[in-house]
């Protein structure tokens, strides 16, 4: 039984980057799709595709630069099931002086810290990416 599917996804992406894999397969979930969409918008992954079979899966295409270095250097889980981290709109995190992003779960859905700042809402900090 998996207790934290988001942490599992982040770890799988981290491990696939370290082993220079181009494609990664994850179990399907709507939350993972939204997080991957934010990573795609931030140019941290090339894209993803939903594979329909007995158990739906997500195929993630990882992104590397010309030298073979991964686009994602750090994927850090902030709020965990054992310790939730919530922030108000005034305390939204800035990651590496806005070179990275934080992914926030808000009342209006999952979004990046930049989107949450524009909308003026806070929420639970899921993870940081840079």
Tell the CATH topology of 5-62: Ribosomal Protein S8; Chain: A, domain 1 (3.30.1370)
Q: Which DSSP category does 52 fall into?
A: P
Q: Tokens standing for 7?
A: 């942490």
Which pLDDT band holds residue 114 (cuts at 50, 70, 90)? very high
Q: Which DSSP category does 18 fall into?
A: H
Torsion angles phi and psi, residue 124, rounded to 5: -90, 130
Beta bridge partners of 75: 129
Q: Tokens standing for 45?
A: 């992954």
pLDDT digits 0-9 by tens, 6-47? 999 999 999 999 999 999 999 999 999 999 999 999 999 999
How many whole angstroms separate alpha carbon 129 and alpha carbon 107? 21
CATH architecture of 75-129: 2-Layer Sandwich (3.30)
pLDDT confidence of residue 128: 98
Q: pTM for the full model?
A: 0.95
Beta bridge partners of 45: 62
């Amino acid at each position: 039984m998996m207790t934290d599917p988001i942490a599992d996804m982040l770890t799988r992406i981290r491990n696939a980057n370290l082993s220079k894999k181009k494609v990664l397969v994850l179990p399907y979930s709507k939350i993972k799709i939204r997080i991957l969409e934010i990573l795609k918008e931030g140019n941290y992954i090339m894209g993803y595709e939903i594979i329909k079979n007995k158990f739906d899966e997500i195929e993630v295409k990882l992104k590397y630069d010309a030298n073979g270095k991964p686009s994602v250097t750090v994927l850090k889980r902030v709020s965990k099931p054992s310790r939730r981290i919530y922030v108000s709109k005034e305390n939204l995190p800035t990651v590496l002086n806005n070179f990275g992003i934080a992914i926030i779960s808000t009342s209006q859905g999952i979004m990046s810290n930049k989107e949450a700042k524009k909308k003026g809402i806070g929420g639970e900090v899921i993870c940081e990416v840079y």
